[in-house]
Chain A
Amino acid sequence: MIEFDHISMAYAPKAPLALSDLSFRIQDGEFVFVIGQSGSGKSTLVKLLTCEEKPSAGEVYIDGLALTQLKRRLVPYLRRSIGMVFQDFRLIPTKTVYENVAFAMEILGASRRSISRQVSMVLSTVGLRSRERALPNELSGGEQQRVGIARAMVNNPSILLADEPTGNLDPVNSESIMALLEEINRNGTTVVVCTHDREMVDRMQKRVIEIADGRLLRDATRALYGSGDKYLLDIEPAAVPVSEPAGQDQATAQPAETGQPPQNHRDKLFTSYDYYYKRKSR
Chain B
Amino acid sequence: MKLRKILTAIRDSLLNIVRHPLLTLASVTTVTLMLLLMGVFIVVSLNAGNLVKVVAQQPPVEVWCDATMTEQQQEDIAAYLAADSNVLSFTMLTPEENFEQLKQSMGQDQSALDNFDYAKLPYVYQVKLQDPDLAEAFVAQIKAFPGVTQVDMAESVMQKLTKIINWVNAGTLLAFIILLVISLFIIANMVRLSVFSRAEEINIMKYVGATNAYIRWPYILEGTLIGTVGALLSSGLVYGIYQWLYQRLVTGQSSSDLGVLAPRNFVLPLSQLAWIFILVNLGLGVLIGAAGSAMSVRKYIKV
Residue pair B209, A108 in contact (C-beta under 8 Å)? yes
Contact B209 A107 (CB under 8 A): yes
Could you say which of B4, B8, B208 contacts A79, with CB atoms under 8 Å apart? B208
Contact between chains at B211 and A109 (CB < 8 Å): no
Q: Does any Cβ of A come within 8 Å of B203's Cβ? A: yes
Residues of B within 8 A of A104 (CB): 208-209
Chain A CB within 10 A, most for which of B19, B200, B205, B208: B208
Q: Quick check: A107 and B214 within 8 Å, CB to CB?
A: yes
* Whole-angstrom CA separation of A50 from B204 in the bound complex: 12
Residue ID in chain A nearest B20 by CB atoms: A94
Q: Which residue of A lies closest to B211 (CB)?
A: A76
Taking a contact as CB atoms closer than 8 A, the residue among B8, B19, B207 that contacts A84 in the complex is B207
* Chain A hits for B143, CB < 8 A: none
- CB of B26 closer than 8 Å to a CB of A: no
Query: Known contacts being A90-B200, A109-B5, A111-B4, is A103 close to B208, with CB within 8 Å?
Result: yes
Contact (Cβ within 8 A) A94 B205:
no
| A106, CB-defined interface residue at 8 Å | yes
Q: How far is the CB of B203 from chain A (nearest CB, A)?
A: 7
CA distance A92 to B12 in the complex (A): 14
In the complex, chain B residues whose CB is within 8 Å of the CB of A90: 200, 203-204, 207
Is B248 in contact with chain A by the CB < 8 A criterion?
A: no
Interface size on B, residues (CB 8 A): 19
Determine if A270 is an interface residue (Cβ-Cβ < 8 Å).
no
Q: Mark A38-62, 1 if CB is under 8 A from B, else 0.
A: 0000000000001010000000000
**B155 is an interface residue with CB less than 8 A from chain A:** no
For chain B, what secondary structure do more than half of its interface residues adopt (helix, strand, loop), or is it mixed?
helix
Nearest-Cβ distance from residue B11 to partner chain A, whole angstroms: 10
Residues from chain B with a CB closer than 8 A to the CB of A151 are 208
Chain A stretch 56-113: residues in CB contact (< 8 A) with chain B: 73, 76-80, 84, 90-92, 94, 103-104, 106-109, 111
With both chains docked as a complex, state the minimum distance between the C-beta of B125 and any C-beta of chain A, in angstroms.
Answer: 71
How near does chain B come to A253, taking the closest CB pair, in angstroms?
25
Contacts of B200 in A (CB 8 A): 90, 92
Q: What residues on B are CB-neighbors of A79 within 8 Å?
A: 206-209
B 1-30 contacts with A by CB, 8 A: 2, 4-5, 8, 19
C-alpha spacing A106/B210, complex, angstroms: 9
Across the interface, name the chain A residue whose C-beta is closest to B204.
A90
Least CB separation from B15: chain A residue: A94
Are A50 and B207 CB-contacts (below 8 A) given A90-B200, A92-B201?
yes
A221-274: which have CB < 8 Å to B? none
At the interface, yes or no: B154 with Cβ under 8 Å from chain A?
no
Q: Known pairs A76-B209, A104-B208; list 6 more (Cβ under 8 Å).
A: A76-B212, A90-B204, A90-B207, A92-B204, A107-B205, A155-B208
Rank and list the top 7 A-B pairs by shortest CB-CB distance, nearest first.
A80-B209, A79-B209, A107-B210, A104-B208, A76-B211, A76-B209, A109-B2
- A interface vs B, CB < 8 Å? 50, 52, 73, 76-80, 84, 90-92, 94, 103-104, 106-109, 111, 151, 155
Q: Can you name 27 A-B pairs with beta carbons within 8 Å?
A: A73-B211, A76-B206, A76-B209, A76-B211, A76-B212, A77-B209, A78-B209, A79-B206, A79-B207, A80-B209, A84-B207, A90-B200, A90-B203, A90-B204, A91-B204, A92-B200, A92-B201, A103-B208, A107-B210, A107-B211, A109-B2, A109-B4, A109-B5, A109-B8, A111-B4, A151-B208, A155-B208
